[in-house]
Each structure stands twice: as structure tokens, then as C-alpha cells.
Amino acid sequence: MAEVKLVDVSKIYEEKNKAVSSFSLEIKDKEFVVLVGPSGCGKSTTLRMIAGLEDISEGEIFIDGRKVNNVPPKDRDIAMVFQNYALYPHMSVYENMAFGLKLRKFSKSEINERVSYAAKILDIEYLLERKPKQLSGGQRQRVAVGRAIVRKPKVFLFDEPLSNLDAKLRVQMRSEIARLHKRLQTTIVYVTHDQVEAMTMGDRIVVMKEGIVQQVDTPLNLYNHPKNKFVAGFIGSPAMNFVEGKIVSEDGLKFVSSQGTLTFQLNPKQSEILSSYRDKKITVGIRPESFSAETKYESSVKTKLEFEEQMGNEVYLHFNVDGKSCIARMHPDVQYKIGDEINVGFNNFAVLFFDNAAGERIC
Amino acid sequence: MKKSLVIFIAVFVGVITFLPFLWMISASVMPSGAANTFPPRIFPNKFDFSHYTTLFTRLNLTKYLLNSMIISFGVTLFSLLLNSMAGYAFAKFRFAKKKGLFKFLLSSLIIPAQVTMLPLFLILKNLGLINTYWAIFIPGMASIFGIFLIRQYAFSIPDSLIEAAKMDGATEMQIYLRVILPLCKPILVTLGLFTFMGTWNDFLWPLIVMTDANMYTMPVALANLMSEHVQDTELMMAGSVITIIPVLVVFLALQKYYIKGIMMGSVKG
């Protein structure tokens, strides 16, 4: 197993078109790192540069201490699982898994042993003779993972491996991959656009936007201490609610939204940090789960219920604040009707404040 | 009513199309002179296979048949190898001036083959290749149409398959041989059939470059037969039957892949 180190790595396709900008990251041995971000943020390009499938325009990549910038993929000792599985359609499952080993001139018995072992832990022993077209999506995905496992590479790369699966299977495979990581004790770099996958699987998460790393942190830190508005909005489902307004002095410091729908008193800690923002525009972020129908919080917002989404275990209430749609996540027993005047309280200790211009979190 | 009309027209056209073919087979087994009687007969009164014997004994058709076989299989193999390599490269490789080069190749399709025959003949003559199999192998090795066909098909092969093979440790040659070629099977069969039939039936080029009677192909030999035995229609027809049999066998044997290839090419291309 190995460490992966990226130093100021950039990918420039054409002049001025930077897909990835100065990406630096040290991935520890046996670590599960997830690259996450919206489409076109450069996460897959970064993964492909680690794999050797894309040239590196600037910077350096090291795998297990060896610089691999000019090393072809086959000599990097890595394995990759592709989004569309990329199984060879003319080969059986066994042949698909054995292909890499055959090319590397492993003995027949060794190939047999490794394929059998991988098939056993992935529970695909009964599929070995079948062709990929005879498999379901989930089975194909297992074979693709199996093909990577048999090689016993230093690093596993996963490029959105679950995005072609249905929701139920995705959840199942998610936990299987996480379990596999624990069992194989390997370094994994995993790319996804699904923040739930990122949160549940990664030891650390790299959030990217437009080719630039926004934050690298553990899932909980990303959720609780996002560095900027983008990370705050990207991590968490449903996404964080943002309301623009300003800080005013009125019995201490107070936040007042642009149209005055949302006002609340700042707590002492917030007041201290935000004193320099008096009369300046600022954005607050409130997570849907910070709202409550009970009146246990001092701060609240009076509004009209636009519609609700009943999930069974929870309910999402949609309402308007200053003309912007907001969501509150509540206990499913909450009984409101569409059009009702509602008063939702929120914990103002959980409110995050962002600089309006740069989007950085202030506190 | 409408359906039965369509069936009637289809059957009628089918019969009209099949009639010359039927008459060729039928005439080849008629006794000498029976094919030229009036009114013409469609089926023979008496079966006479002597023309076939004559072809293989007195007229030495085995030699020409062998020439045609060697040339057709040779050209087909060379052309499949080179066209598949070029088509794959044009579809999946990144290299400078790729699009421009391909357009240039495509534009050369408008030049009639006859125009290139003389310069080609002179080149081959200077190389001392006239009256050798290479005089037909070399010009037939690559065709723009073949490259185009393979290229269009290769586009439908996902890049990730090639990348997966690279990660698995395959060299470019191994990717081509073990991943691309097996996946291109339907289109290779189609192109192989086109090439085989085209080469087998080709008359003009073998006539130009094979001046030695020992190197004649079947169509050339058959044409020679015509001028020598102009009255002997039954012998001509027996020769024609022998000529089309290998093409027919190859076509029927590979028909399944051929149709698949044509369909896939048209949909995915």
C-alpha cells in the first residue's frame, strides 16, 4: 500500500482553460479520500492524472515516494474502477478479472487463486463463466471492483462507480466498498458528485469547484466548519439555506435580512466576531435541520408554508424568506397545511455567517 | 389486398432476379448446343456434367481457381489488418493533423480507380512485381472505404475500455489485438466479405497485371475461355458456376455477422 502526493498539479487543456488549478494533497497510506464537487469541477481529471490517463500540465504526482509524472498507467501499480464499468464484453467474468494478471505473466495457479479469492469476497463466484451482458448493473460493478482487487495494487481509484446504479443498489454498494476498504486496508481515491457518498465513505473529503480545491477535511468538519459558502451549500442534504441581510445595532447586534422577514439577535460570541461587519452586507446560512417547530429557540421566522415533502421519517417544509425558497427539516408528525402561517424556530448557535463578497465563512 | 399485392410484386421481382442465375446453373448441365436452341429452355432435358470435367481437365481451371483463392484471401487478410489498424488509429488516437489527414484521404475517393491504374502499373512494373501475387496484394492492402468503415465502428467502442486495458497493463499492440479486434468482429466480417467478393470478382486489374497465363484469376480465365470457345455456352456457364461458388459459400457462412455489421455500422456510426 502507498501514499499518494500531489504537488501543485494543474491541467490546462487549451490556453486559459484550466481544468485543475494547483491541486496539492497528501493522501496517507490506507486512507480513503473522496474528491467531490459538481460536474466540471475537475475531480475526474485529477483522478485521471493520478491514473496516468491524462498528462499533467504542471506540478508533480508521487505514488509511494516515486515521481510518476511520466510513468505510463501500467507501471504505476494502481487499479481503477470506471463509471461505466468498462468490462470487456467479449470476455467472461473470469477472463475479465484475469486479463490484467495474464498480461503481467502470472502463473495459471496464481491467477486462479487470486480470481477465486476476489470472487469470493465480492460474492460473484457463481457468475465467473458469464459474459458482462448477462449481468445486472450491480453485478457488473462487482466484477469491475473484482478486476481491480485481483491485481493487489498500491492504490485504488474509483471514478463515480455507483452513479449508474439505482438508488437502493447504490446504498448497498456504498457500504460494500467501505467494508472492502476496511478489509483490504488499501489507499483509495474515490470521485463522486454525490455528497452523501462522500460523507459516508471518506476518511477525508476534498471539495472542488471549477478546478480549485475549496476545502480538504473530515466529513464532520466539512459539515460543521465549512470554509466558505460553496462548501456549506454543497455538503448536507437538503442544502443549507442562505439569506442575505446586514448586521445592525439594536439592543446589541442583530441580523436583519434584506426585506426584514428574518431577524435575530446575535449571541455574544457572534457579536464579538461580527462587530466589524456592522451595517455591512452579510449572508447567513441555516441548515434545514437547525429549524424546529417547537418553541425551544429564541430565534424564529414567521412565514407561510408553500409546500411540504413527506419522507416518512422526516418532513421537508418549503417556505419563503425574503422571496428566496428555504427548507426546514422536521419531525414527520408536524401538522401544517399548505398556506398556513408558520413560525419556525432555529438555533442561532448553529447559524453560519459568510462574507458577502468572497463567500468565506466569518464564523 | 395491399399486402398480397406487395407479396406478388416481391415474388415477381425475386423470380426475375433469380432467373438468369437459375438459367446459368441449368445451362451448365445441358448437353452441348442445347442452351442455344429456340425456343430457349429453362431446364435441361438431360443432365450432362461433362463441361465441369472439361474445365478441370482440359482447361486446367484448378490453377486459376487456386490463383483466385490465394489472391482473394491474401488481399482480404492484408486489408483487414491494415484497415483495422488505420481505422482504430483515426477513431481513438490523438495525433497532429488527424482530421485534416482523414479528410484528405476521404477526398481521394472521388478519383476514379481507372485513373490510378496506369501509374500504379508503372510503379509495380519498375518494382518487378508484375505477374506476381504482390501486384494485386499491394494495391489492395488498404482502402479508404475500409478505413472509414472501421473508424466509424471504432467510435462506438467506449474510451474507458481502452483505458481499462491500459490500467490492466496492456501495451498498445495488446489493446489492438485483444480488445479492439475482438470487439470489431462484426464490422471486420463485413469488410472482409466486401473485400473478398470485390477481389474475387475483379476483372480489370488482374487482367492488367497478370499477363502470364499461369497467373490468371478465375474471371480473367473465364473471359479467355469466352473468346476461345465462343459457341460453347454450356461450358461458359459451368465456368461461371465454379466462379461464383466460393463467393456464395463465404457469403452464406458469414451472413449472420455481415448483417449485424452493416446494421451496427449504420446505427452507431
CB contacts of B184 in chain A (<8 Å) are none
B39 pLDDT tier (thresholds 50, 70, 90): confident
Can you tell me the distance from the alpha carbon of A154 to that of A61, in angstroms, rounded to the nearest whole number?
A: 14
Can you tell me the distance from the alpha carbon of B130 to that of B210, in angstroms, rounded to the nearest whole number?
A: 7
What is the nearest CA distance from B30 to chain A, expressed in angstroms? 50
Query: Which amino acid makes up residue A117?
Result: Y
Among B170, B182, B183, select the one facing A103 at the smallest CB separation.
B170
Question: For cell 451496427, what's the residue?
Answer: B264
Beta-carbon pairs below 8 A across chains A and B:
56
3-state secondary structure of B254: helix
Q: Do A86 and B183 touch (CB under 8 A)?
A: no
3-state secondary structure of A230: helix
B269 pLDDT above the threshold of 50: no
A1 pLDDT above the threshold of 80: no
Query: Which amino acid makes up residue A109?
Result: S
b vs e for A50-83, b when ≥16 Cβ sit within 10 Å of the residue's Cβ? bbbbbebeebebbbbeeebeeeebbebbbbbbbb
Domains of chain B and CATH, by start: 1-48 (no CATH), 49-266 (1.10.3720.10)
B264 CB near a chain A CB, below 8 Å? no
- The DSSP call for residue A345 is E
Please give the share of chain A, as a percent, with pLDDT higher than 70.
99
CB contact at 8 A, A254 and A266:
yes
Can you tell me the distance from the alpha carbon of B1 to that of A348, in angstroms, rounded to the nearest whole number?
A: 81
HSE (CB half, 13 Å, CA atoms) of A127?
Answer: 24
Can you tell me the distance from the alpha carbon of A297 to that of A300, in angstroms, rounded to the nearest whole number?
A: 7
CB contacts of B174 in chain A (<8 Å) are 103
Q: Do B165 and A90 touch (CB under 8 A)?
A: no
Phi, psi torsion values for B129, nearest 5 degrees:
-105, 0
Q: What pLDDT sits at residue A226?
A: 94
Can you tell me the distance from the alpha carbon of A159 to that of A163, in angstroms, rounded to the nearest whole number?
A: 9
What is the nearest CA distance from B88 to chain A, expressed in angstroms? 17
Query: All 3 cell numbers of residue A154?
Result: 498500491
Q: Do A100 and B160 touch (CB under 8 A)?
A: no
Pairing of strands A32-36, A58-63: unpaired
Q: How far apart are the first and last CA of chain B?
A: 38
Cα Rg for chain B, rounded, in angstroms? 23
3-state secondary structure of B31: coil
B264 pLDDT above the threshold of 70: no
What is the nearest CA distance from B34 to chain A, expressed in angstroms? 55
Q: Do A86 and B169 touch (CB under 8 A)?
A: no
CB contact at 8 A, B72 and B201:
no
Can you tell me the distance from the alpha carbon of A302 to that of A288, in angstroms, rounded to the nearest whole number?
A: 15
- Most trustworthy range by pLDDT among B195-204, B231-240, B246-255: B195-204
**pLDDT averaged over every residue in chain A:** 90
Alpha-carbon torsion angle B191, B194, B198, B200, nearest 10: 90
What is the pLDDT averaged over residues A122-140?
91
* Residue to test with chain A: of B167, B172, B183, B257, most A Cβ within 10 A: B167
What is the pLDDT averaged over residues A173-185?
89
Pairing of strands A281-286, A352-355: antiparallel
The pTM of the full predicted model, rounded to 2 decimals, is: 0.82
Residue closest to A143 by CA, chosen among A90, A185, A202, A82: A82
A82 CB near a chain B CB, below 8 Å? yes
Q: Sheet containing A241-249: give its strands across.
A: A263-265, A253-257, A241-249, A281-286, A352-355
CB contacts of B160 in chain A (<8 Å) are 82-84, 86
b vs e for A273-284, b when ≥16 Cβ sit within 10 Å of the residue's Cβ? ebeebeeeebbb
Alpha-carbon torsion angle B12, B15, B16, B18, nearest 10: 150
Query: Which amino acid makes up residue B135?
Result: A
Nearest residue in chain B measured CA to CA from A95: B178
CB contact at 8 A, A35 and A46:
yes
Q: What pLDDT sits at residue A138?
A: 87
B266 pLDDT tier (thresholds 50, 70, 90): very low
Please report which helix (H) or strand (E) contains residue B101, including its range: helix B98-107
Length of chain B measured in residues: 269
A293 CB near a chain B CB, below 8 Å? no
A92 pLDDT above the threshold of 80: yes
B229 pLDDT tier (thresholds 50, 70, 90): low
CB contacts of B164 in chain A (<8 Å) are 80, 82, 86-88, 147
Q: What digits encode the pLDDT tens for the residues A220-263? A: 999 999 999 999 999 998 999 999 999 988 888 889 898 888 88
Question: For cell 498500491, what's the residue?
Answer: A154
What is the pLDDT averaged over residues A111-119?
94
Q: What pLDDT sits at residue B267?
A: 39
A302 pLDDT above the threshold of 90: no
CB contact at 8 A, B87 and B154:
yes
Among A53, A90, A104, select the one facing B183 at the smallest CB separation.
A90
Can you tell me the distance from the alpha carbon of B242 to that of A99, in angstroms, rounded to the nearest whole number?
A: 45
Alpha-carbon distances, residue B37 vs B23, B33, B234 (angstroms): 14, 7, 12
b vs e for A129-148, b when ≥16 Cβ sit within 10 Å of the residue's Cβ? eebbeebeebbbbbbbbbbb
What is the nearest CA distance from A100 to chain B, expressed in angstroms? 4
Length of chain A measured in residues: 363
B182 CB near a chain A CB, below 8 Å? yes
Q: What pLDDT sits at residue B100?
A: 94
Q: What digits encode the pLDDT tens for the residues B82-133? A: 999 999 999 999 899 999 999 999 998 888 888 989 999 999 999 999 999 9
CB contacts of A52 in chain B (<8 Å) are 166
Task: DSSP for A81-101, please give it.
Answer: E-TT----TTS-HHHHHHHHH
- The DSSP call for residue A267 is P
A11 pLDDT tier (thresholds 50, 70, 90): very high
Q: Do B160 and A86 touch (CB under 8 A)?
A: yes
HSE (CB half, 13 Å, CA atoms) of A122?
Answer: 30
B170 CB near a chain A CB, below 8 Å? yes
Q: What pLDDT sits at residue B33?
A: 81
